[in-house]
Amino acid sequence: MLLIKAELTGSYYFNKPVCQDPDDDKFITCAIASKSSYIISGDKHLLNIGEYFNISIVTPRYFIDHVLE
Protein backbone atom coordinates (compact mmCIF):
# COMPACT_ATOMS: atom_id res chain seq x y z
CA MET A 1 0.00 0.00 0.00
CA LEU A 2 1.25 3.46 -0.84
CA LEU A 3 0.49 6.32 1.54
CA ILE A 4 -0.31 9.67 0.00
CA LYS A 5 0.44 12.64 2.21
CA ALA A 6 0.52 16.40 1.63
CA GLU A 7 2.30 18.96 3.75
CA LEU A 8 3.01 22.69 3.40
CA THR A 9 6.71 23.55 3.47
CA GLY A 10 8.97 26.57 3.23
CA SER A 11 10.63 27.72 0.04
CA TYR A 12 14.06 26.90 -1.34
CA TYR A 13 15.71 28.77 -4.22
CA PHE A 14 18.72 28.11 -6.46
CA ASN A 15 21.07 30.82 -7.71
CA LYS A 16 21.32 29.02 -11.05
CA PRO A 17 19.23 26.30 -12.72
CA VAL A 18 19.92 22.71 -11.68
CA CYS A 19 18.10 20.96 -14.54
CA GLN A 20 18.63 21.34 -18.27
CA ASP A 21 15.00 22.45 -18.27
CA PRO A 22 14.76 25.21 -15.62
CA ASP A 23 11.00 24.58 -15.33
CA ASP A 24 11.87 21.25 -13.66
CA ASP A 25 13.77 22.94 -10.82
CA LYS A 26 10.49 23.43 -8.95
CA PHE A 27 10.28 19.68 -8.36
CA ILE A 28 13.76 19.59 -6.86
CA THR A 29 13.13 22.63 -4.66
CA CYS A 30 9.89 21.08 -3.43
CA ALA A 31 11.66 17.80 -2.63
CA ILE A 32 14.42 19.62 -0.71
CA ALA A 33 11.96 21.76 1.24
CA SER A 34 9.87 18.72 2.16
CA LYS A 35 12.94 16.59 3.01
CA SER A 36 11.86 13.96 0.50
CA SER A 37 13.99 10.93 -0.25
CA TYR A 38 12.71 10.42 -3.80
CA ILE A 39 11.41 12.25 -6.82
CA ILE A 40 9.45 9.79 -8.97
CA SER A 41 9.30 10.99 -12.56
CA GLY A 42 9.44 10.01 -16.19
CA ASP A 43 10.98 13.35 -17.15
CA LYS A 44 14.31 12.79 -18.91
CA HIS A 45 15.85 16.04 -17.63
CA LEU A 46 15.16 15.11 -14.02
CA LEU A 47 16.23 11.49 -14.53
CA ASN A 48 19.56 12.63 -16.03
CA ILE A 49 20.42 14.24 -12.68
CA GLY A 50 20.01 10.91 -10.87
CA GLU A 51 20.52 12.27 -7.36
CA TYR A 52 20.63 15.75 -5.84
CA PHE A 53 20.94 16.73 -2.15
CA ASN A 54 20.58 13.03 -1.25
CA ILE A 55 17.28 12.88 -3.16
CA SER A 56 17.13 9.97 -5.61
CA ILE A 57 15.38 10.77 -8.88
CA VAL A 58 13.90 7.55 -10.26
CA THR A 59 11.29 6.25 -12.67
CA PRO A 60 7.99 4.90 -11.37
CA ARG A 61 9.05 1.39 -12.46
CA TYR A 62 12.34 1.62 -10.54
CA PHE A 63 10.53 2.85 -7.44
CA ILE A 64 8.02 -0.01 -7.55
CA ASP A 65 10.62 -2.69 -8.29
CA HIS A 66 13.42 -1.57 -5.95
CA VAL A 67 11.98 0.62 -3.21
CA LEU A 68 8.58 -0.91 -2.53
CA GLU A 69 9.92 -4.48 -2.41
- pLDDT at residue 16, rounded to an integer: 80
Q: Is 44 inside any structural domain?
A: yes
Q: What digits encode the pLDDT tens for the residues 3-19?
A: 677 666 666 666 787 88
pTM: 0.79
Q: Is 5 inside any structural domain?
A: no
Domain, as residue range, for 51: 22-67
Q: Is 16 inside any structural domain?
A: no
* Structural domains counted in the chain: 1
Please tell me the distance from the alpha carbon of residue 47 to that of residue 41, in angstroms, as a whole number: 7
Q: Indicate the pLDDT class of residue 69, thresholds 50, 70 and 90.
A: confident
